[in-house]
Amino acid sequence: MPFLPLEKGKVGMYTCGPTVYNYAHIGNLRTYLFEDFLRRTLEYAGFKVQHVMNVTDVGHLTDDGDAGEDKIIKSSRETGRSVWDIAQMYTEAFFRDIERLNIKRPTIVCKATDHIPEMIELVKRLEERGFTYEAGGNIYFSIDKFPDYGKLAQLDLKDLKAGARIEVDANKRNPHDFVLWFTRSKFEHQAMLWDSPWGRGYPGWHLECSAMSMKYLGEQFDIHCGGIDHIPVHHTNEIAQSEAATGKCPWVRYWLHGEFLVIDREKMSKSKGGFLTLDRLVQEGFDPLDYRYFCLGGHYRSQLQFSFEALKAAQSARRSLWDRVSQWHRDESKSLESLHSKGKQYITQFQQHLANDLNTPQALADLWAVVKDPDISEAEKFLLVEEMDQVLGLRLTERSTEQLDPELESLIREREQARKNRDFARSDEIRALLKSKGILLEDTPKGTRWKRISSL
Ligand code: AMP
Ligand code: ZN
């Protein structure tokens, strides 16, 4: 399908952001990585991308429906910290994670708690246009007033048995109606409350994404992304309330959803616990970019099976790439225009693979083909890798100019000597000591390299 933005050369892109009641798990991070591959591909193709992402710092509900416990309150109860502190702490952790994965920071990051007036405005518009009703103190969206309801997920509403999967709220006229504004909380000790025309309360789950995306990207925009689980409820409800409020259709021109990261055939999920974080991967000796490489190797619309063995394979592949590329240098007299036809062909192929529904596994294969090609000079390879890495984001041609503390330098030299003497116990001891100081070592045929790990 060709991509045609609303305005030539520009792209408005909204991606659903994190719910900050816990650390992001590596499944969540897979989705943010896919969105970064998309954004970088669009920028590489010459578009100016306005990327907006929300931070859900108002408590989500633990279920798809309106049942369950507010997740931020739950976390607050379990840790004894205030809801505001919890949201702040996990927001910072999230941005640390995406930086380490070399995910570009969105052009605009917007917090739900900073946009309550915009959400109230949206509910007022829906009320004026007759899409809402009040019941039991809450304001609901009536899906029966919106005949297109469920078009994204191609939902057959007759097939969806009321109450089969979700606890049905007795106030609802249709079980798939959803709350726009709560004044009657099911949860005690609700800490985040705001005044509204319907009473003191808080917004429903889906409202923030419609209100904030339209504020920053306009009432109609180009791309909306998220994980595949958002199709049947969250994005379906976002579309209903946005199109109902503005009367403009389509609200969003292109929807892209990332498939799940799975472990032992089970989806990794925040609510269930037992999830892996990026910090855990780092503690196991991986570089965050190993995980980036691992995700590039799977197409975003296919499930990706995670295992530490598979991550190890990604790690050695990435290190091997890095080792080769680190031996090459930029030749200032060379430019992409001066490449031989074979080099140019690689670029064309790379672009075609990305343009074909973001085929990152093929794009990665193109990079390897360049690296291994005996007919291309090293200076040309350097240029081609640098070009491709604008999208792949593996930092392959970046060179560290940072000087290490002399004491740490001397530990690295001592370890090299210990390795030469086959004193592996001392060598491992020094590696562990450096790791505790935030320095990760990689042994390569060209000697030992070091890297700073900001998270430890
Ligand atoms: P949340 O913070 O729970 O709202 O999730 C953030 C993003 O991660 C959403 O776009 C989800 O759809 C996505 N997501 C949740 N679980 C997974 C998973 N196992 N694999 C990939 N993406 C996921
Ligand atoms: Zn959203």
Domain CATH number, residue 174? 3.40.50.620
Q: What is the mean pLDDT of residues 136-144?
A: 94
pLDDT tens, position by position, 292-303: 999 999 999 999
Q: Which parts of 45-192 are beta strand (E)?
A: 48-55, 108-111, 132-135, 138-141, 178-182
CA distance 452 to 439: 5
Q: What is the mean pLDDT of residues 408-437?
A: 88
User: In terms of C-beta density within 10 A (0-12 exposed, 13-18 middle, 19 or more buried), how is residue 162 classed?
Assistant: exposed
Number of domains making up the chain: 3
pLDDT tens, position by position, 318-359: 999 998 998 888 888 888 888 888 999 999 999 999 999 999
Structural domain boundaries enclosing 28? 10-262
Say whether both 144 and 221 belong to one domain. yes
CATH number of the CATH domain containing 359? 1.20.120.1910
Q: What is the mean pLDDT of residues 96-109?
A: 97
Say whether both 187 and 293 belong to one domain. no
| pLDDT classification of 271: cutoffs 50, 70, 90 | low
Specify the pLDDT at position 61.
53
Q: Of 31, 228, 267, which is best to mutate to test ligand 1, by the most ligand atoms within 8 angstroms of its C-beta?
A: 31
pLDDT tens, position by position, 33-90: 999 999 999 999 999 999 999 999 886 554 434 455 667 777 777 888 888 898 999 9
Q: What is the mean pLDDT of residues 141-152?
A: 94
Tell me whether residue 143 is in a domain.
yes
Residue where a domain terminates, one of 340, 362, 392? 392
Tell me whether residue 60 is in a domain.
yes
Tell me whether residue 198 is in a domain.
yes
- This prediction's pTM: 0.87
pLDDT tens, position by position, 15-42: 999 999 889 999 999 999 999 999 999 9
| Element (DSSP H or E) covering residue 135 | strand 132-135
Say whether both 246 and 332 belong to one domain. no
Say whether both 42 and 185 belong to one domain. yes
Which atom of ligand 1 approaches the CA of 31 most closely? 22
Predicted confidence (pLDDT) at residue 375 exceeds the cutoff of 80: yes
Tell me whether residue 383 is in a domain.
yes
Q: Are strands 447-452 and 138-141 parallel, antiparallel or unpaired?
A: unpaired
Tell me whether residue 291 is in a domain.
yes
Say whether both 106 and 216 belong to one domain. yes
Q: Are strands 138-141 and 10-15 parallel, antiparallel or unpaired?
A: unpaired
Say whether both 76 and 27 belong to one domain. yes
Say whether both 27 and 172 belong to one domain. yes
Q: What is the DSSP letter of 74?
A: H
Tell me whether residue 331 is in a domain.
yes
Which protein residue has the closest C-alpha to ligand 1 atom 3?
19
Tell me whether residue 225 is in a domain.
yes
Which protein residue has the closest C-alpha to ligand 1 atom 7?
28
| pLDDT classification of 159: cutoffs 50, 70, 90 | low
Q: Highest mean pLDDT: which of 84-88, 303-307, 431-435? A: 303-307
Tell me whether residue 89 is in a domain.
yes
Say whether both 190 and 305 belong to one domain. no
Ligand 1: centre distance to CA 268 (Å):
9
Which protein residue has the closest C-alpha to ligand 1 atom 11?
227
Specify the pLDDT at position 56.
92
